[in-house]
Chains A and B, each alone.
Chain A
Amino acid sequence: MIISIGCDHIVTDLKNHIIEYLEAKGHKIIDNGTYDHIRTHYPIYGKKTADKVASGEADLGIVICGTGVGITTSAAKVKGIRAALVRDITTAKYAKEELNANIIGVGGRICGVGLIENIIDEFLESKYKENFENDKIIEKIDQIVEDDSQVGDEEFFAEFIEKWENGYYPKK
């Protein structure tokens, strides 16, 4: 499977561990960063990771930040993405089987590494259960957003990154 993965600077080591874990299982990984511990902004990596899934370049995506909320919310805000933020395996299984979730998000400061590995295994290995009810709900979710012009726009956050670098935002 081709898996798109992204994280913020809080959980880079965890993401690197997950990449090794998945590569050992034979998956091909697209690592969207961040690649170090320098303070950065989770929507950049949530969107990058999700864009690859929305475009079909990757089969599924994994996003991780401190609580998982910020980066998974940014992934969810990409057309065509059904992002599930979870803290248990049961919800990961449900999200894939019933909602055909294509991105899984976890909080690196919320879950331990054993649970995170198992959540990812369940997400990757569970199969979508195609039936009328599930198809109908998924269609309703996918229809909320019509415009797909933001997908793949690599300059989408440029104005904010520039303002951050110019000191417009406080560093504390």
Chain B
Amino acid sequence: MKIIIGSDKDGLELKEYVKDCLEKSGYEIVDKTPKGADDFVDSAKSVAQAVVEQEGANGILVDEYGVGSFMVANKIKGAICAVVSEEHSAKMTKDHNNATILALGSGIVGKKLAKEIVDNFVGSEYSGGRHQVRVDMLNKML
């Protein structure tokens, strides 16, 4: 699975850590912001647009709180982004919402938790079924 990642300057360190973990697990990583974007609007937009264009790709966004990236990524048609600070939501949002983008706050979660959240997100699958009507609704928006 291809994972497209990006962060602003505040999220750079955690983004690098997550990238390193995912590379060690064998994922193909596309880093949209090797030096950290000037702000989370730029990083979230570029990652969300890339994820929407590439079927099967996932995205990971990092800024200080995560919530800014969430706000921005969901403004892109076809993007479903979840900001998460615990493992359960990371799994459930993939399973139920078909979220393809995960947003993390580098000031909110530590490295250990961030790794567990990312592993739960990329390791879970969308279950479809009754959830598809809701995903179709989200994808019609904007």
Contacts and interface: CB of A to CB of B under 8 A. Distances in A.
Contacts of A42: 134
Contact of B142 (A68, A77, A88, A95): A77
B41 A91 contact: no
Contact of B71 (A67, A99, A163): A99
B86 A110 contact: yes
Size class of the B contact interface (CB-based, 8 Å)? 35 or more
B130 to A, nearest CB: 6
A95 B67 contact: yes
A62 interface: no
Determine which residue in B68, B72, B96, B141 has the highest number of CB atoms from chain A within 10 A of its CB, and name it.
B141
A84 B130 contact: no
A90 B88 CA distance: 20
Given A82-B71, A144-B45, A110 B137 contact: no
Given A140-B41, A160-B136, A69 B86 contact: no
A136 to B, nearest CB: 8
Given A73-B74, A77-B75, A88-B108, A140 B39 contact: yes
B75 A144 contact: yes
Contacts of A47: 141
B30 interface: no
A101 B67 CA distance: 10
Interface string B127-142: 0111011101110111
A77 B141 contact: yes
Interface in B103-118: 105, 108
Contacts of A72: 70
A172 interface: yes
B89 A110 contact: yes
Nearest first, the 7 closest Cβ-Cβ pairs linking A and B are A76-B74, A77-B141, A43-B137, A144-B75, A69-B82, A69-B93, A140-B41
Interface of B: 39, 41, 45, 65-68, 70-72, 74-76, 80-86, 88-89, 92-93, 96-97, 99, 105, 108, 128-130, 132-134, 136-138, 140-142
8 contacts: A66-B96, A67-B88, A72-B70, A85-B82, A86-B67, A87-B86, A88-B108, A91-B108
Interface of A: 39, 41-44, 47, 66-70, 72-74, 76-79, 82-88, 90-91, 94-95, 99, 101, 107, 110, 137, 140-141, 144-145, 147, 150, 156-157, 160, 163-164, 169-172
Given A69-B83, A163-B133, 11 more contacts: A70-B97, A74-B137, A79-B142, A87-B85, A101-B67, A137-B39, A140-B39, A140-B41, A144-B76, A145-B142, A160-B133
